[in-house]
A and B are shown apart, each in its own frame.
Chain A
Amino acid sequence: MGNVIALDSILGVGELKATPTAPAAASGCTSSACGSSSGPADMPAEVWEKVKNHPCYSEEAHHYFARMHVAVAPACNIQCNYCNRKYDCANESRPGVVSEKLTPEQAARKVLAVAQEIPQLSVIGIAGPGDSLAARGANTFRTFELIADKAPDLKLCLSTNGLALPDHVDRIRNMNVDHVTITINMVDPEVGERIYPWIFHNHKRWTGRDAAKILHERQMLGLEMLTSAGILAKINSVMIPGINDEHLVEVNKAVKARGAFLHNIMPLISDPAHGTHFGLTGQRGPTAQELKTLQDRCEGDMKLMRHCRQCRADAVGLLGEDRGAEFTADKVEALEVSADDSTRRAYREHVEAERAVRHASKEAARAEVADTVGNAVPPILVAVATKGGERINEHFGHAGEFQIYEVGPAGAKFVGHRRVDQYCQGGDGDEDAIETVLAAIADCAAVFVAKIGGCPKDRLAAAGIEPVDRFAFEYIEESALTYFKDYAARVAQGTATLRTGRDAVIRPSSQPAARRA
């Protein structure tokens, strides 16, 4: 299975057996003495403590830690025009879709089974497939109780549309849930009525502008209550061109003013085959640059999440992968489960130590570029083939997605990811797949890989995207900065040309390999 991430490959000693670069400047200080493990300068230490191992709340954490969604909440209390609950297809990867619904008891057993197989697991989330707080949240809270009892080291989090949230904030806090995501697509009922045909509230179905107004008021109240309870709130917004794309700037201001921690603007997933209202009416999703431009506009004092994979309500693994098919009900039934958490604890200690050194080495690389290049050359985008661990450790042909970094004098920053069809299928290059890769990373100047064959190398070069394998198994950010320094020198010499003004295609995954029948 191509997208399974082995622990040894995360640690940089994967099956390709290249020697991992020794982390630079290991000065011997402990992580706490360095202060670097207390996190980025723009974040209070107690907040960093909450997010540092949560792959959805920390971009850095998503290279190291895995999440698992348990699908115990099938009921919903609103209808969204981008959602259709009638079809349940194992080949689809999008929110609201699952293959198996679980009882709270089945979910708790599955959590223990996955936790002993995947030491990177740090978070258990409930994201539906309906709304985690609909039907009074009964299954959600029962599941949390069982997990907290058997695996107290795992963080609990939930995702909701917010309609029922004000009724449950006290209980959420009492269960030590530190992270709640609210999907907020509008702060104006006129916009809302084009997204939500109806809601069910106070024993009644509401439609039109009334429905959107109630939902909006409940979302804002719920967010304010989370903030006063000290619970970190992430806001998910679906970007729907022509309906709420410009409006999301207003949404961003409204949630920022109410203390939201992170804003995640996601592209609409729309396909007639999904049977959603937007799919059937031909509503398009945004392009890669439309999405990035909006995210850049909203990014000010508040962090924008760029690493969301819009995963299924039963996803398992690192964010770029889905190992759900390894843990179906019958397979979990056959596994022996235990509450032993020693492997997970050892993995977390390893990551903690590695990160302490990384913060200093990233900063050193950034400072060098700022000194030598300055503002002479505008930032570029590079695509990276990675299996995790913040390293360039995936073959070009095995990548199911590329991570996109913007690199320039201000540093190397993760700005997104692009799904592609794997180029290499059973040893042969796939001509159709190379086209999807070229379309998905057309706005990038280079693609960093652990290894690449001659044929795709030529195709990339012809498309103006430089294939780069000289940083194999090294860290992404430091490599990107080194590359940018060389690139700036080549531009100055006239041997490279600036690459700007390109766009790329956002492709929802239609058939993740692990889910293929």
Chain B
Amino acid sequence: MAYKIKSAECTVCGACEAECPNVAISFKKGTYIIDATKCTECQGQFDSPQCASVCPADCCVPA
């Protein structure tokens, strides 16, 4: 149960990294990635996954 970032569509703006409550998102080799072991899909934390809600390119999706 985790989200992933479709890197081909990512604008590398970093908005997702700042919103992730689990510090699961980091910048590696020119793109942002989600650590699946840390991602909770924000369940129990927020109404919706924060990365997907803030992403301007709608590229944060269920893995």
Contact = CB atoms under 8 A, between A and B. Distances in A.
Contact of B13 (A75, A136, A138): A75
Contacts of A17: none
A77 B15 contact: yes
Label chain A's interface by main secondary structure.
loop
Contacts of B53: 200, 203-205
A85 interface: yes
A76 interface: yes
A86 B12 CA distance: 10
Interface in B1-47: 9, 11-15, 17-19, 46-47
Contacts of A205: 48, 53-54
B15 A76 contact: yes
A75 B48 contact: no
A200 B58 CA distance: 13
21 contacts: A74-B11, A74-B12, A74-B15, A75-B14, A76-B13, A76-B15, A77-B15, A85-B11, A85-B56, A86-B9, A101-B12, A134-B18, A135-B15, A135-B17, A200-B54, A203-B47, A203-B50, A203-B53, A204-B46, A204-B53, A205-B48
B61 to A, nearest CB: 15
A130 interface: yes
Contact of A204 (B14, B48, B57): B48
A75 B15 contact: yes
Given A77-B54, A86-B57, A203-B46, A130 B15 contact: yes
A507 B54 CA distance: 33
Contact of B18 (A79, A85, A86, A138): A138
Interface string A88-113: 10000000000001000000000000
Interface string A137-159: 01000000000000000000000
Contacts of B18: 75, 134-136, 138
Interface of A: 74-77, 79, 85-86, 88, 101, 130, 134-136, 138, 200, 203-205
Contacts of A77: 15, 54
Given A74-B12, A204-B46, 10 more contacts: A75-B15, A76-B13, A76-B56, A85-B11, A85-B13, A86-B11, A135-B15, A135-B18, A203-B47, A205-B48
A89 B53 CA distance: 26
Contacts of A200: 15, 19, 53-54
A76 B15 CA distance: 7
From B11, B12, B19, name the one whose CB has the most chain A CB atoms within 10 angstroms: B11
B57 to A, nearest CB: 6
A75 B20 CA distance: 13
From B9, B53, B54, name the one whose CB has the most chain A CB atoms within 10 angstroms: B54
B28 to A, nearest CB: 15
Contacts of A204: 46-48, 53
A464 B53 CA distance: 56
A332 B2 CA distance: 40
A458 to B, nearest CB: 49
Contacts of B57: 85-86
A127 to B, nearest CB: 14
Nearest to B42: A203
Contacts of B56: 76, 79, 85
Q: Which 9 A-B pairs have the closest CB atoms?
A: A135-B18, A75-B15, A74-B13, A205-B53, A200-B54, A75-B13, A203-B46, A85-B11, A75-B14
Contacts of A79: 56
Given A75-B18, A204-B47, A130 B13 contact: yes
A407 B31 CA distance: 54
Contacts of A76: 13, 15, 56
Nearest to B16: A75
A101 B56 CA distance: 17
A76 B54 CA distance: 8
Nearest to B50: A203
B11 A135 contact: no
Contacts of A101: 12
A115 B14 CA distance: 29
A203 B15 CA distance: 12
A323 to B, nearest CB: 25
B21 to A, nearest CB: 9
A74 B47 CA distance: 25
A88 B13 CA distance: 12
Nearest to B45: A203
Contacts of A130: 13, 15
B15 A134 contact: yes
A136 B57 CA distance: 20
B38 to A, nearest CB: 18
A203 B13 CA distance: 18
Contacts of A86: 9, 11, 57
Contacts of A203: 19, 46-47, 50, 53
Contacts of A85: 11, 13, 56-57
Contacts of A134: 15, 18
Nearest to A130: B13
A74 B55 CA distance: 12
A74 B14 contact: yes
Nearest to B14: A75
Nearest to B52: A205
B10 to A, nearest CB: 10
B20 to A, nearest CB: 11
